[in-house]
């Protein structure tokens, strides 16, 4: 076959190099600790939070090892521009799902491999609103956070630079702010959202906020608008901790053990002493550590802590309150699809590139508390076929015919806040995984407020789609994201950990990932997870060796540190609005 | 079966549309012609899919032939020339053989492998009960009558398999597996006008549905499903619990 060679990244990856994006390679040989050595920190799960923690703790000189259940991706060799070929990015192992509205897991919301979910997130990076941290005080629903927006704000600003985030100069909702990198060019789906919303007098932002480079940054090139964000960004433009924080972690002496499936956090005399795990060959191993950070996300974190039950902790670790596994949340993720007479071609441009948060806050005129966002999505053919199946009930010739119109459809996603409910939970199932460990059983039920919110959000988004000129508008009910199930709180009676993720029961055990969130707003959780991780890391560094020896629980906020960021990010990219 | 119309027909002339290499509105468009512009890993993955169709290892010969007949109705390909039909059964077989899960199982469903076997047993016996013939020997119309009753969540005749697992979940699993195989194939990308892999070249015409210089613009024709087909409806209303049964990473 003949084609014009374009050079550059068309070159085959070089032998012996491990690629993190087309230009960045794994820095040098990774440090490896002696298997018998006691390290300072064991980080379980090198994902959105684990990557940031590993990087900062290594930079501060701690001996730190990350255990990652999945592979250590080489993006040039392992990743493809292909829907089906990307299935290994997800946590596909068995989980049982039930309740009145069972959650689809796996590809929908769980990553496996270094970088975790940040490898396959669409990378919308809105901040939570100030109101999200006090929904109980304001609306009498859910629960307040043990910290405020203003405590987290400096860490948001920091992580927006470390990723960095591209977006509009003026983001008008919540605490208004700008973004360090300029907004992306629009795609046809964003045009639909803006056109429809504008007709209805609804404000939108365009070209972000997304953790995708709109200009090159250090050794990462800018976006090429190929639309495969959630299949893993080979381009290296979309931020994942694999390419943003892990290289710096390794440069500073962190070790990552891929294919290491943690099976039990071990407790002795009231303190954790390390982690039992199965290595690549399925052999049981023990990593001795002075403190353990559990960063396995909203299902594997509670599962591991439940599976770690031992004398003195019969209900699982950090579960004296009984709330471990409870208050699991997913966001409403209804997809509204509209057919247009003109062509759209929604596979181009990042799925995430425009949104509105006009309906984010509680409106007393509506019959429910809290709200939702409307965001662009860009399903590729397989995902779109499944949506058409679910939304239209098509099969056979009808399915083939609808699919031939793929390029006439545009899709928008509702992102709706579902409140934390005690009966939405992670427990252990009777089924076992390949290591003989009980798998997670996930139960999810919608409650009255959730149902009203979803109905309103769905109708509003359909209105937008019609206003944009769609001649046929349909919807599919589904969910997006997972948070909660090991929530932080102000009191040990009704939460699993304190505001820094420290277990109420075991002073050298920390939880740091989406599972600590008490509520979720209607913002995508990725930025908040990483901001919380950076804050907890700085807290740990401030406390120094006291974490390993003391039971004291200082609650003062850590001072923001600008010297802990990865290279190329310090003060790079200046938001126009601070 | 001789009088059956199996081909879709031209909505204007009423004439059967003859099978084509690439049905759809993008004549001449071929994603594989662009493969030289793809990265190595992607090209290898897609070419393997095209040229290395896996053998049947999970299903028995009888199960395989029954499912093959079912799949011919779930994703009919009579409008494709014989050499350009997209294999589906081998990929489902491979998934079950390798125990490749989607990351979860509904609490009211048995493991996928068991669910497939149970459902196929039910379909076989429903065919015998209702039409006194094996499913594969039924007319297309009879096959579609049976399948539509499963699609509608009211299997006719009833079978005790459907007391042991949720009929809607079973239907969704089989059809999702089928479309996942079909629309993973570059020939299906050509059919729907999906540009396909685009690294490292990227896309540049992002707005207004414009084609890249190497893409083809749409050339529509109006067509309908074969006259006696029960699956031609492009909006087959469903009970509300059908939503969101799958785990694709399609959105946020």
The DSSP string of A174-188 is SS-B--SBPPPPP-H
CA–CA separation, A212 and A350 (whole Å)? 9
Mutate to test the interface with A, among B172, B211, B224, B248 (most CBs of A within 10 A): B248
**pLDDT value of position A309:** 98
The nearest alpha carbon in chain A to B204 belongs to A225
CB–CB contacts below 8 A, A to B = 326
CB-CB neighbors (< 8 A) of A350 in chain B: none
Q: For the beta carbon of residue A313, count every other beta carbon within 10 angstroms.
A: 18
Say which DSSP state A14 is in: P
Length of chain A: 578
A274's enclosing H/E stretch is strand A271-278
CB-CB neighbors (< 8 A) of A234 in chain B: 39, 199-200
> Using CB atoms and an 8 Å cut-off, which of residues 394-413 of chain A contact chain B?
394-404, 406-407, 411, 413
Tell me whether residues A224 and B203 touch, CB distance under 8 A: yes
The nearest alpha carbon in chain A to B91 belongs to A84
Report the residue from A122, A226, A347 with minimal CB separation from B194. Answer: A347
Instruction: Give residue B139's Cα distance to chain centre.
Output: 19
The nearest CA of chain A is from the CA of B61 a distance in Å of 24
User: Which alpha helices (H) appear in A420-486, and where do they start and end?
Assistant: 448-467
Distances (CA, A) of A526 to A49, A166, A400, A533: 9, 15, 36, 11
A343 touches chain B (CB under 8 A): yes
The nearest CA of chain A is from the CA of B202 a distance in Å of 5
- How large is the average pLDDT for residues A155-178? 96
Report the residue from B45, B203, B204 with minimal CB separation from A85. Answer: B45
Tell me whether residues B209 and A403 touch, CB distance under 8 A: no
Q: How confident is the model at residue A7 (pLDDT cuts 50, 70, 90)?
A: very low
The nearest CA of chain B is from the CA of A504 a distance in Å of 31
A386's enclosing H/E stretch is helix A381-392
CB-CB neighbors (< 8 A) of B228 in chain A: none
Residue A277 pLDDT > 80, yes or no? yes
**pLDDT value of position A385:** 98
CB-CB neighbors (< 8 A) of A224 in chain B: 198-203
> Using CB atoms and an 8 Å cut-off, which of residues 268-297 of chain A contact chain B?
none
CA–CA separation, A288 and A508 (whole Å)? 13
How high does pLDDT run on average in chain B?
Answer: 92
Instruction: Give residue A371's Cα distance to chain centre.
Output: 20
Q: For the beta carbon of residue B18, count every other beta carbon within 10 angstroms.
A: 8
Residue B129 pLDDT > 50, yes or no? yes
> Using CB atoms and an 8 Å cut-off, which of residues 173-192 of chain A contact chain B?
185-188, 191
* pLDDT > 70: percent of chain A: 97
Q: Any residues with CB less than 8 A from the CB of A68 and at least 6 apart, and which?
A: A45, A46, A50, A113, A114, A116, A256, A257, A258, A259, A260
User: How do residues B52-95 score in pLDDT, each as one tens digit?
Assistant: 999 999 999 999 999 999 999 999 999 999 999 999 999 999 99
Tell me whether residues A104 and B42 touch, CB distance under 8 A: no
The nearest alpha carbon in chain B to A124 belongs to B252
Does residue A252 sit in helix, strand or coil? coil
The nearest alpha carbon in chain A to B40 belongs to A12
User: How do residues A27-71 score in pLDDT, each as one tens digit?
Assistant: 889 999 999 999 999 999 999 999 999 999 999 999 999 999 999
**pLDDT value of position A266:** 98
Tell me whether residues A94 and B104 touch, CB distance under 8 A: yes
Tell me whether residues A480 and B251 touch, CB distance under 8 A: yes
CA–CA separation, B10 and B158 (whole Å)? 37
Tell me whether residues A393 and B183 touch, CB distance under 8 A: no
A479 touches chain B (CB under 8 A): yes
CB-CB neighbors (< 8 A) of B39 in chain A: 9-10, 76, 80-81, 234
- How large is the average pLDDT for residues B164-185? 97
**pLDDT value of position A107:** 85
Residue bearing tokens 């959730």: A450
The nearest alpha carbon in chain B to A79 belongs to B41
**pLDDT value of position B238:** 57
**pLDDT value of position A568:** 82
Q: How confident is the model at residue B251 (pLDDT cuts 50, 70, 90)?
A: low
- How large is the average pLDDT for residues A258-262? 98
CB-CB neighbors (< 8 A) of A103 in chain B: 104
Q: Any residues with CB less than 8 A from the CB of A37 and at least 6 apart, and which?
A: A63, A288
Indicate the angle between helix axes A48-59 and A526-543, nearest 10 degrees: 30
A332's enclosing H/E stretch is strand A329-332
**pLDDT value of position A261:** 98
How high does pLDDT run on average in chain A?
Answer: 95
pTM: 0.96
Tell me whether residues A400 and B76 touch, CB distance under 8 A: yes
User: Which alpha helices (H) appear in A232-380, and where do they start and end?
Assistant: 241-244, 246-251, 297-307
CA–CA separation, B34 and B198 (whole Å)? 9
Residue B240 pLDDT > 50, yes or no? no
**Cα angle for residues A547, A72, A563 (degrees, 5° grid):** 45
Say which DSSP state A108 is in: G
Q: Which of B233, B105, B100, B234 is nearest to B170 (CA)?
A: B105
Does residue A54 sit in helix, strand or coil? helix
CA–CA separation, A446 and A424 (whole Å)? 9
Does residue B42 sit in helix, strand or coil? helix
Residue A320 pLDDT > 60, yes or no? yes
């Amino acid at each position: 076959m003949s084609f014009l060679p374009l050079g550059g990244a068309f070159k085959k990856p070089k032998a012996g190099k491990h690629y993190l994006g087309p230009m960045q390679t794994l820095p040098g040989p990774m440090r490896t600790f002696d298997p018998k050595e006691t390290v300072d920190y064991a980080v379980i799960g090198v994902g959105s939070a684990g990557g940031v923690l590993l990087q900062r703790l290594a930079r501060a000189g701690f001996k730190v090892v990350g255990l990652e259940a999945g592979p250590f991706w080489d993006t040039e060799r392992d990743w493809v521009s292909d829907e089906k070929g990307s299935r290994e990015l997800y946590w596909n192992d068995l989980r049982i799902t039930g309740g009145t509205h069972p959650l689809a897991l796996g590809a929908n919301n769980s990553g496996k491999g270094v970088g975790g979910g940040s490898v396959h997130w669409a990378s919308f990076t809105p901040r939570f609103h100030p109101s999200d941290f006090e929904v109980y005080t304001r609306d009498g629903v859910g629960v307040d956070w043990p910290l405020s927006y203003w405590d987290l704000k400096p860490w948001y600003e920091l992580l927006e630079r470390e990723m960095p985030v591209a977006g509009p100069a003026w983001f008008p909702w919540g605490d208004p702010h700008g973004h360090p990198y300029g907004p992306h060019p629009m795609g046809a789906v964003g045009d639909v959202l803006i056109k429809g919303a504008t007709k209805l007098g609804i404000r939108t932002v365009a070209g972000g906020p997304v953790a995708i480079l709109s200009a090159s940054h250090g050794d990462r090139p800018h976006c090429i608008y190929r639309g495969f964000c959630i299949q893993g960004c080979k381009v290296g433009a979309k931020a994942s901790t694999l390419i943003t924080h892990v290289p710096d972690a390794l440069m500073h002496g962190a070790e990552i053990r891929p294919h290491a499936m943690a099976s039990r956090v071990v407790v002795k005399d009231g303190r954790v002493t390390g982690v039992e795990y199965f290595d690549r060959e399925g052999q049981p191993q023990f990593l001795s550590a002075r403190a353990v950070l559990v960063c396995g996300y909203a299902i594997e974190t509670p599962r591991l802590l439940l599976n770690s039950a031992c004398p003195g902790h019969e209900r699982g670790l950090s579960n004296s309150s009984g709330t471990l596994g409870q208050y699991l949340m997913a966001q409403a993720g209804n997809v509204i699809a509209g057919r247009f007479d003109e062509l759209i071609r929604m596979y181009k441009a990042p799925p995430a590139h425009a949104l509105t948060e006009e309906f984010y806050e509680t409106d007393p005129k509506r019959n429910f508390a809290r709200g939702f966002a409307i965001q662009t999505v860009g399903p590729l053919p397989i995902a779109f076929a499944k949506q058409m199946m679910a939304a239209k009930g098509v099969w056979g010739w009808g399915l083939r015919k609808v699919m031939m119109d793929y390029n006439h459809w545009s899709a928008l996603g509702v992102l709706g806040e579902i409140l934390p409910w005690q009966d939405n939970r992670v427990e252990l199932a009777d089924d076992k995984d390949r290591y003989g460990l009980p798998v997670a059983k996930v139960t999810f039920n919608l409650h009255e407020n959730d149902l009203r919110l979803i109905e309103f959000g769905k109708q509003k988004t359909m209105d937008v789609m019609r206003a944009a000129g769609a001649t046929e508008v349909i919807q599919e009910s589904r969910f997006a994201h997972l948070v909660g199930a090991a929530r932080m709180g102000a009191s040990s009676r009704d939460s699993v950990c304190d505001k820094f993720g420290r277990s109420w029961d075991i002073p050298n055990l920390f939880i740091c990932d989406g599972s600590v969130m008490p509520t979720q707003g209607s913002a995508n959780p990725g930025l908040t997870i990483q901001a919380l991780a950076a804050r907890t890391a700085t807290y740990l560094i401030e406390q120094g060796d006291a974490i390993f020896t003391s039971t004291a629980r200082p609650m003062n906020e850590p001072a923001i540190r600008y010297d802990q960021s990865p290279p190329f990010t310090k003060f790079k990219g200046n938001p126009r609005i601070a | 079966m001789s009088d059956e119309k199996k081909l879709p027909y031209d909505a204007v002339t009423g004439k059967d549309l003859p099978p084509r290499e690439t049905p759809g509105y993008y004549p001449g468009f071929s994603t594989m012609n662009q493969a030289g512009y793809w990265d190595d890993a992607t090209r290898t993955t897609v070419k393997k899919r095209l040229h290395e169709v896996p053998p049947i290892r999970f299903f028995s010969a009888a199960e395989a032939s029954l499912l093959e007949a079912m799949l011919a109705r779930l994703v009919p390909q009579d409008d494709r020339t014989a050499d350009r039909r997209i294999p589906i059964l081998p990929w489902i077989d491979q998934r079950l053989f390798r125990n490749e899960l989607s990351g979860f199982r509904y609490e009211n469903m048995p493991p996928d492998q068991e669910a497939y076997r149970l459902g196929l047993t039910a379909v076989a016996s429903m065919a015998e009960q209702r039409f006194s013939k094996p499913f594969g020997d039924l007319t297309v119309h009879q096959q579609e009558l049976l399948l539509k009753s499963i699609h509608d969540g009211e299997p006719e005749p009833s079978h005790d398999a459907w007391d042991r697992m949720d009929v809607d979940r079973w239907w969704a699993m089989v059809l999702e597996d089928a479309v996942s195989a079909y629309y993973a194939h570059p020939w299906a990308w050509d059919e729907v006008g999906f540009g396909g892999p685009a690294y490292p070249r990227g896309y540049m015409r992002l707005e207004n549905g414009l084609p890249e210089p190497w893409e083809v613009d749409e050339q529509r024709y109006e067509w309908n499903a074969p006259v006696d087909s029960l699956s031609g409806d492009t909006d087959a209303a469903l009970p509300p619990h059908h939503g969101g049964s799958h785990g694709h990473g399609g959105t946020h």
